[in-house]
Amino acid sequence: MLIYLARRLALAVVTCAAISVLTFVIIRLPPGDFVDAYIANLAVGGSTVSAEQAAAMRREYGLDRPVVVQYGLWMGRVLSGDFGVSMMWRRPVTEVIGDRLWLTMAVSFAALLLTWLIALPIGIYSAARQYSIGDYVATTLGFIGLAIPNFLLALILMYLGFRYLGLSVGGLFTPEYAQADWSWGKFWDLMVHIPLPASVLALAGTAQLIRIMRANLLDELRKPYVVTARAKGISELRAVLKYPVRAALNPFASSSAYLFPYLVSGSIVVSLVLGLPTVGPLLLQALVAQDMFLAGTIVLLLGVLTVIGTLISDLLLMWIEPRIRLQGRA
């Protein structure tokens, strides 16, 4: 088991290194750089920047150096905990992201937890009661969840909340707590506001996992060992939950690993619609402004989250599936 874990950790480190290279390349792909985008924005307002000023800005941010040198300097700072200075905000990236990163993690974790709590029991019930009314209802809701974009659901909930309940749906805090320091009151205010965006983000993932769990469990329930268990008089509940559910959890757990980074990246439009103070809108602004350090940091964090999610998935599979543990000892 330790050998298996060591292999996965080594692969995770190598993958993170590859992600850092790809992140830097992707951020550098658009033509021009931050200085060009900055000059273009000033030109819209009628202001101009001289060639000397533009060259000075490129020297300040190291944009006049070779690409390999820029990557080396960036990664050197990242490994030391310094993510650089945001060109757009002219502040350290850690300060710009600030609480946005933790709020994004909180919303995404709540959405992931809600996805599991809803998808797992519904998927089991839908498979155990195939072609029943409940199965048809779950299937219909699953297709609806896959078809409706998250931002459209957010707009519908905002309209219903304002039209019929008189509520201003949006944000993660009430106005008196938005800029206040952290306290128990602000924490409770966050807990009150977090179910709505978490539900919106969890809808598509929940629908997908319901379909995965239903299909996998149906395959297991048709296997001879389940038929034999039923023939021996084992109760239906035990015949379903004892081994078939555990075997059907393998693809369920592996596919769940990719939900967390999807929830973080997929919350950009939802965050814009609901006015959430997360990193989604910040990433959009950084990409438009070609803010290399800010956009690169956020994209790198999303990639690392994917690797962490995959590692957690491997550990879950090792716990669920005994054959993986035996393979790790070999």
- Asked if residues 200 and 274 have their Cβ atoms less than 8 Å apart, the reply is yes
- Asked if residues 252 and 216 have their Cβ atoms less than 8 Å apart, the reply is yes
Tokens, residue 242: 């004892």
Angle at 212 between CA 207 and CA 216, to 5 degrees: 150
pLDDT in tens, 173-205: 887 887 788 888 888 888 888 888 888 877 767
pLDDT in tens, 287-329: 777 777 788 888 888 788 778 877 877 777 777 766 665 555 5
Task: State the residue for tokens 């060009």.
Answer: 36
> Can you give the pTM of this predicted structure?
0.75
Q: How far apart are CA 108 and CA 106, in angstroms?
A: 6
Which band of pLDDT confidence, cut at 50, 70 and 90, is reported for residue 224? confident
Check residues 26 and 132 and name the one with the higher pLDDT.
132
What is the maximum alpha-carbon separation in the chain? 86
Q: How far apart are CA 116 and CA 240, in angstroms?
A: 19
- C-alpha torsion 322→220→213→232, nearest 10: -90
Task: State the residue for tokens 């000397």.
Answer: 52
- Asked if residues 98 and 48 have their Cβ atoms less than 8 Å apart, the reply is no
Q: How far apart are CA 75 and CA 302, in angstroms?
A: 16
CATH-assigned architecture of domain 101-322: Orthogonal Bundle (1.10)
Q: How far apart are CA 149 and CA 278, in angstroms?
A: 19
**Delimiting residues of CATH 1.10.3720.10 domain(s) in the chain:** 101-322
